Structure 1
Amino acid sequence: MKKKLLKLGMFSMALAMTVGLTACGGGEKEQSAASGGDSGKKGSQKLVIYTARDKNVVEQILPKFEELNPDIDVEVMTMGAQQIMERVRGEKANPQADFWWGGTQSSFITAANEGLLESYKPSYADSIPAEYKDAQDRWYGEMLLPEVIMYNSEAVKKEDAPKDWDDLLDPKWKDKILIRGVMASGTMRTIYDAMIYRQDPANPEKGYEWLKKLDANTKEYTQDPTQLYLKLARQEGTLSLWNLQDILLQKELQKQPFDYIYPASGAPILVDGVGIVKGAKNMDAAKKFFDFIFDKDQLKEKADKLFQIPTRTDIDKNEFPDWYKNLDTKQLDLDWMVLADKEKEWMQYWDENIKGKGGK
């Protein structure tokens, strides 16, 4: 595992230059590492994971899992959640992954409907609310990810930052907004879908008009989260839209000059999920990893060190850190089944008719 993580880390550092991070969870990033290769440890079992998790999360969790399961040889491939969706779909006839770790509920709903995920009901299933899991146990939400407004705290004072979504359309923010490339990112697709839905889900034209105005203020769509962080830190732009966990990871662990505003009208709160790939070649190992990441002690540690909001409801909130206990997670009123159904249509229209048109 050490060799694999070293390879992943070296690749990421080369890609990110001084930032040294790819993005999360669910976050979301371009493919940043192939499978770990020869780890020097030949377990009797193998586990292949496709993940959209932040490198910090992967490097904290996998060594603990391998320590408890020395007979399992873990290989990891990191990419954006939408890219995982496309890859699992393309490999349906001959699955190459066993476990899908990190992605939006819209992606998992689509994957389940396409027969890409195995049904697995864990022992703690009843502790996870129905809205955070599949009715047929084909995917479960591991954590909640509020999508918020991100800003460079050295360039923008908190009192001057946008307080709600519509504030982003103010002309004073023209060429100040940086957006992670939307089409490859489950996070960004969800935010943009939510912006369309909040205008009028029955008439997407109103949402398209909103996104045209946002596009007019957008300076650049960055290739991946690493470039987003780099350019935001350099003040090539001062605002963005991103998930709360990754912002806190960057702020607290990487000491980046980033902070966030929780939108006054509420945020789209992603259910960041996991699932076992249909026809997985290493089913037993996949189930072990599934149960490991939902272990109560692991969830509390991830909340403390990795700023994760768990979906399990059978843990006393007083056992969690202050940042979580004090968080007001007001949600936008969204119908996730509608978002899953309309995502492809809405995002294709945005990509072909709005992106880079400058609001024209």
Structure 2
Amino acid sequence: MAGKKALSCTAGAVLSLSLLLSGCMAGSQTDKASGDKSKSNLEEKVVIYSPHGKDILQEFEKKFEEKNPDVDVEWLDIGSQEVLDRVRSEKKNPQADVWWGAPSVMFNQAKGEGLLEPYKPTYAKALNEEFHDKDWAWSGTSQTPEVIMYNSKKLSKDEAPKDWDDLLDPQWKDKIIIRYPLASGTMNTIFSAMIYRDYKDSKDPQKGYEWLQKLDANTKEYSANPEIMYSKVAKGEGAVSVWDMPDVVMLKEEKNYPFDFVIPESGTPVLTEGIALVKNAKHPKAAKAFYEFVNSKEANKILAEKHYRIPTRTDIDNLPKWIEDTKIKPMDIDWKVFESKSNGWMEYWDNNIKSKEKEQKE
């Protein structure tokens, strides 16, 4: 089949209008060779919602279909908060089968709303307790430390901010470009962590809000998507951002972006990225097969070596040196507090702190 797109825009009879519109904007997948078997004859398909980007999604589509030739993989590449919102809105008529990629906090929110189908994978014994839901509503696929990212052509390692509070220094005014937090699980977590640092003792978010107000004063732009943020920092329109370490390493090593990172000295949130089955999904058999494949030993090696993901499984050997050498000081976080408070905190930020003129539209 030629010209297949991520969630093809011709599928309007099946997909909701909002999904159709997003599907139209999603990047085209690699065209299939003309000799491929017609997808209309396939026994099964599996629909993936994921923020992992087209590079990973295209690769895993290809590898999974090679092992499962009677299954057609379709995917939609959107931010993790957008996935949660979409799965929530589609609860009565699910369009996705698998949700791959989001902080555990979001999966816990989805579990609480009855959006996920519990599934205990065959590799369960290789996951420590902190890397899966107690009822197996989700399981962890990778660990994601959050870092301060900077343009290495504009700043040396010594000149870059060393810790979160350094970002508030007046020298960084209009030099910080940040991904719009409300659409991003990564940014939602970083901002919530800045509030939580004081909230854990005071039970009052006010000092955290004041911190975010000062950061806003130094922020040049809230980019609508990660690609815009990457491009503008790479071009030197901004010198600093905050993001997740695996993506920064990937962009530096694979795409030659002038990026490097600093692990904040005081500690950083370390997210558990996960995968889950959508409740009442239309293709449960294929969904479980994809779920298993994504966290197989083979897939973990691919994700570690090619896409700079740190595995959650304890039985993955011969990991890249950068993973073995990385020393992280995890921030002490009560993730249940995040689950109950972060949405309200981010709503307050959006309504009362964010400078409206700094929001970048696509």
The CA RMSD over aligned residues, in Å, is 2.2
Aligned equivalent of 1:188: 187
How much has 1:300 moved relative to structure 2? 1.7
Aligned equivalent of 2:320: 321
Say whether 1:351 aligns with 2:350. Answer: yes
Aligned equivalent of 1:255: 256
Say whether 1:178 aligns with 2:171. Answer: no
Say which is worse superposed, 180-189 or 33-42, in terms of deviation: 33-42
Separation (CA, whole Å) in 1 of partners of 2:149 and 2:164: 11
Identity of counterpart residues, as a percentage?
Answer: 50
How much has 1:127 moved relative to structure 2? 1.5
Q: Secondary structure at the match of 2:158?
A: helix
Aligned equivalent of 1:41: 39
Q: Give the residue type in structure 1 aligned to 2:199.
A: D
Aligned equivalent of 1:108: 107
Give yes or no for contact 2:300–2:316 (8 Å, CA) kept in 1.
no
Aligned equivalent of 2:166: 167
How much has 1:357 moved relative to structure 2? 7.5
Unaligned runs of 5+ in 1: 12-28
Give yes or no for contact 2:80–2:101 (8 Å, CA) kept in 1.
yes
Judged with a 3 Å threshold, the aligned counterparts in structure 2 of structure 1 residues 99 and 31 are, in CA distance, closer, same or farther, namely farther
Aligned equivalent of 2:83: 84
TM-score, scaled relative to structure 2: 0.88
Q: Give the residue type in structure 2 aligned to 1:41.
A: K
Separation (CA, whole Å) in 1 of partners of 2:324 and 2:221: 35
Separation (CA, whole Å) in 2 of partners of 1:322 and 1:122: 28
Q: Give the residue type in structure 1 aligned to 2:327.
A: D
Q: Secondary structure at the match of 2:47?
A: strand
Judged with a 3 Å threshold, the aligned counterparts in structure 2 of structure 1 residues 335 and 35 are, in CA distance, closer, same or farther, namely farther
TM-score, scaled relative to structure 1: 0.89
Q: Can you list the C-alpha shifts for 1:200-244, whole angstroms capped at 9, x where unaligned?
A: 231111111111111111011111111101111111110000011
How much has 1:102 moved relative to structure 2? 0.6
Q: Can you list the C-alpha shifts for 1:118-154, whole angstroms capped at 9, x where unaligned?
A: 0100121121111121111111111011110000000
Aligned equivalent of 2:216: 215
Separation (CA, whole Å) in 1 of partners of 2:55 and 2:30: 19
Q: Give the residue type in structure 1 aligned to 2:163.
A: D
Q: Can you list the C-alpha shifts for 1:259-292, whole angstroms capped at 9, x where unaligned?
A: 1111111111111111000001100000000110
Unaligned runs of 5+ in 2: 10-21, 33-37, 358-362
Give yes or no for contact 2:29–2:58 (8 Å, CA) kept in 1.
no
Aligned equivalent of 1:134: 133
Aligned equivalent of 1:65: 64
Q: Secondary structure at the match of 2:183?
A: coil
Q: Secondary structure at the match of 2:39?
A: coil
Q: Secondary structure at the match of 1:213?
A: helix
The 4+ residue runs of structure 1 with deviation greater than 6 A are 34-39
Judged with a 3 Å threshold, the aligned counterparts in structure 2 of structure 1 residues 193 and 77 are, in CA distance, closer, same or farther, namely same
Q: Secondary structure at the match of 1:263?
A: coil
How much has 1:59 moved relative to structure 2? 2.2
**Number of residues paired by the alignment?**
335
How much has 1:32 moved relative to structure 2? 4.8
Separation (CA, whole Å) in 2 of partners of 1:346 and 1:297: 39
Q: Secondary structure at the match of 1:135?
A: coil
